Chain A
C-alpha cells in the first residue's frame, strides 16, 4: 500500500472523505484503523465525528474552528506516517479477536436450506464454512451496533433476498454477498439468516456498549440450543421469520 493511493475528496461543507482503496482488503482496513486514531488525535476538539468504513474515512470537522485546507494537511500527515509504519507491521495482529457463539440450525436459520441449495452444499457445510473464516469488522453503521463483517467465503456468499423481511430478530446471524453480520436489534432486513447469536451486539446502558469495534477480528463458534438459551438467547421472535 503506497501513499499515492490515498485520495482526499470534499464530502460536504464540513466534511472530507479519505479514500484508501477501491476494494475490500484486510491490509487497507488495518491502515484505516491506524489513520482514524491518528486523525482523531491530531484534530482533537475540531473533530465533530469520524466514520471509518471498508476503504474510506469520513472526517467531519468543525468548520467554525478550522477549514478543509488545514484538515487536508492533517490527514496527509497522518496517512503518510501510518503507511510507512504499516509496511513494517503484520496486518494479522491488528484489532482484538472476539468469538461470537452461534446457534446454527434449521429452526434458528430459516435461510440455511435455500442458501445451501443455491450453493450446492449441505447445510452442515454452510455452517462449517461460516465458522472457518476469521472476519474483520470493516464498518459499523446502518443501525446502532450493526457491524459489517468480511469477507465471507465465496462458497457461501449469496445475494440479498428478493423480498426483504419486515422483521429480522435481534441476534440473527446473516449473510449478504461477501458480508456477514449479527442484527443488533429486531429490524427489517434482506440478508440470509443462518443462525442466532445470544451475545448482545448493542446495549445502551452497559459499560461496554458493543462487543466489537471497527478493525477488530471476529470468529463464529457453533453452540447447541441449550448453550444458546444458557447464554441468554431467546427463540421467541422466530415466528416472524417463517
Chain B
C-alpha cells in the first residue's frame, strides 16, 4: 500500500474531510476541519474535490515520509515547512517522490494546518465520512476516532496529473500572516436571546473576551465580562455550529465541530462560520470581541464568500507546469527525444508560450512533411491546434506550407504557399518583408542537413519534394520557435552535439526555442496548455483530435510511420492523443 508514512504524529493530527452530516439522530456530531477556509484551499491547490480528506495538524510537529509519487500542500497556520530538510513554501503544491520527507515545524501564527495530497487520502468512511471525532471514537484512519500515530501509513495513490499551483502571499488570509491583536466575531442573535437583558447584550457586544486554556475541537471557553441569562438551564435542545452558550458563571462558550449535539445551557446566538475559521486559528490569551449582524446579512456574507472562493483560481506555478509538460511529452520516447531533452534548458515550453503570448503581429506557422506526393498527419494537426490557440488569445496566425497541404487548408485558415522550385532565401525574404511577422514557428518541417539536402527518418533524400522553410527561420529578425520529434526537423541545429547519439541525418537549422516531443503534434497541445494557464482561458476544452485527423485524411494525408491513410499520428491512435489533451487540460488548471 502506497501513501504517506507518519514518522512523528506531532501534537495532534487528525484525518478530516468536510464532516459527518445527517447523523445527529443517532447522536453523532459533525467533526470536520475547524478552519474550513484553509481546508478547502488545501484541496483546491491539489485540484481535489472540496470534500477530499486532509490531515488537520494542531500546533504542528508532524513528520511524514512518502512512498508515492504525487503532490502535497500545506495550508493554514504559518509554520516552517521543509521537504528533505530544504525549506519550502506553504500554500504551494510540491512534487514528492518515494523516500521524500515532509516536516512541519510548530505554528508561529495560527494554530492549525491542513495537509492535502493530489487525489486525496483513501480512508474508509465511517457513517459516511472519514472525519475523526476522538470523543466519539468515530472516523479517521482506523474508523475508531484515533489520532494519527507513528508508523501509520495514510494511503494515497500516484497522481502526477496536477497543475502545480500556489496562492500568492498577498492573497493568503491576513490572520495567518500576522497574529491579529483583536479578532471580531460576527454573531447572529437567536435561541434564548430574550433571556439576556438589554444591559447584558450591551456588555457582550462591547466587552472584550480572551480565549481560555479550555479550547478544543468541542468548543472554546472565553473569559471576560460575565453575562447572566435570566434562567440557568433550559430543556435540552439541538446545538448548531458556532452557538454561543452561557453557563451559570456567565462566561461564554463557542461550540464547534465536535460539540455535543444537544445541550441545556441558554444560548445568545451563533458566530458566523466565516469567523469560526479565524477563531480556530487563535490560541489561549488571544482577544476577541463580538459584532451583531442580521440573519439577512449573514446569508449575504456567506454567499459572497462562496462566490469569491469559487471564482478565486489557484495560481498555476508556470515553471513547474512547463517542466511537468516537458517530461510528459517525451515519456514514451519512441525516437530518443527523452534523452535529447537533457540538452535543452528547462522551461522551453513556457518560454515558447510566452513568446506566443507576447507576440504583437503576425505569427507564421510552417508545417508539412512531404511523403510520396502527400503529407504526414504529424505537423499539420499541431499547426492547426496552434493556429486555434493563437486565435483564442487574440493573436494573428498564418499557416505556411506547400501544396497539396496548402490547398486543403486554405479554405478554413489563412495560409501562405511556399514553392519547391523557387529560390528559398528569396521566397522567405519576400514573405518576411511583406508580413513583418512577430514570431516564426516551425512544426515538423524537414530541416536542411549539413550537405544542403533534406532527408527523412530512413535517411532517404526527399529534397525534390521539399520547399525551403529553413530560410524563414534563419532570415527572421523576430523570435523563432521550432518543434520536432526525430532530429531531422528544422530547429534541431540547437542540439547538434547531442544528436550525434542518434542514427539519423540530423538537420542543422537552429531556432531561438526548440521544443521536443514524442510526436510533434503533441508539442502543440503542450504549448496550448501553457497558453491556457497564462491566459486563464480553457483553450483545450473543445479540441476534437479525430475530427481534425478526418479532415486531413479526406485531403489525402498519410501516417508518417506506417505510410497509411489512417486516423493516426506516427502510428498512434487518435484516442491516445485525445487522452493526452484531456490530461494536459487538467494540468492547465481546467
Contact = CB atoms under 8 A, between A and B. Distances in A.
A12 B27 contact: no
Interface in A11-39: 11-15, 17, 22-24
A140 B238 CA distance: 10
Contacts of B30: 49
B304 to A, nearest CB: 11
A68 B28 CA distance: 25
Contact of A15 (B135, B263, B270): B270
Given A13-B270, A185-B137, A58 B188 contact: no
- Among A9, A184, A204, the one with the most B-chain Cβ atoms within 10 Å of its Cβ is A204
Given A17-B190, A142-B27, A58 B238 contact: yes
Contacts of B262: 51, 53, 139, 141-142
A139 B126 CA distance: 23
B272 interface: yes
Interface residues of A, number: 45
B302 A13 contact: yes
Classify the secondary structure of A's interface with B: loop
A144 interface: yes
Contacts of A141: 24, 27, 236, 238, 260-263
A15 B21 CA distance: 14
B519 to A, nearest CB: 45
A13 B127 contact: no
Interface residues of B, number: 44
Interface stretch (B207-215, B239-247, B280-288, B463-471): B239-247
A214 interface: yes
B230 to A, nearest CB: 14
Contacts of B237: 17, 51, 53-56, 58
A22 B235 contact: yes
A17 B273 CA distance: 18
B298 interface: yes
Given A12-B241, A12-B270, A48-B22, A53 B295 contact: no
> Residue among B28, B188, B238, B239 with the most chain A CB within 10 A?
B238
B64 to A, nearest CB: 28
B27 A57 contact: no
Interface stretch (A59-67, A76-84, A94-102, A118-126): A59-67
B188 A13 contact: yes
A55 B272 CA distance: 26
A13 B272 contact: yes
A185 B137 CA distance: 10
A234 interface: no
Given A9-B191, A24-B235, A213-B25, A144 B273 contact: no
B326 to A, nearest CB: 41
A57 B303 CA distance: 25
Contacts of B161: none
Nearest to B301: A13
Interface in B219-252: 235-243
A17 B262 CA distance: 12
B27 A146 contact: yes
Nearest to A212: B26
Contacts of B299: 13, 63, 67-68
A10 interface: yes
12 contacts: A11-B243, A13-B188, A13-B242, A13-B295, A48-B21, A48-B22, A49-B24, A53-B237, A57-B238, A141-B238, A142-B261, A210-B26
Given A12-B241, A17-B190, A141-B260, 8 more contacts: A11-B190, A11-B267, A12-B240, A13-B298, A53-B238, A55-B235, A57-B238, A58-B238
Interface of A: 9-15, 17, 22-24, 47-58, 60, 63-64, 67-68, 139-146, 148, 184-185, 202, 204, 209-210, 213-214
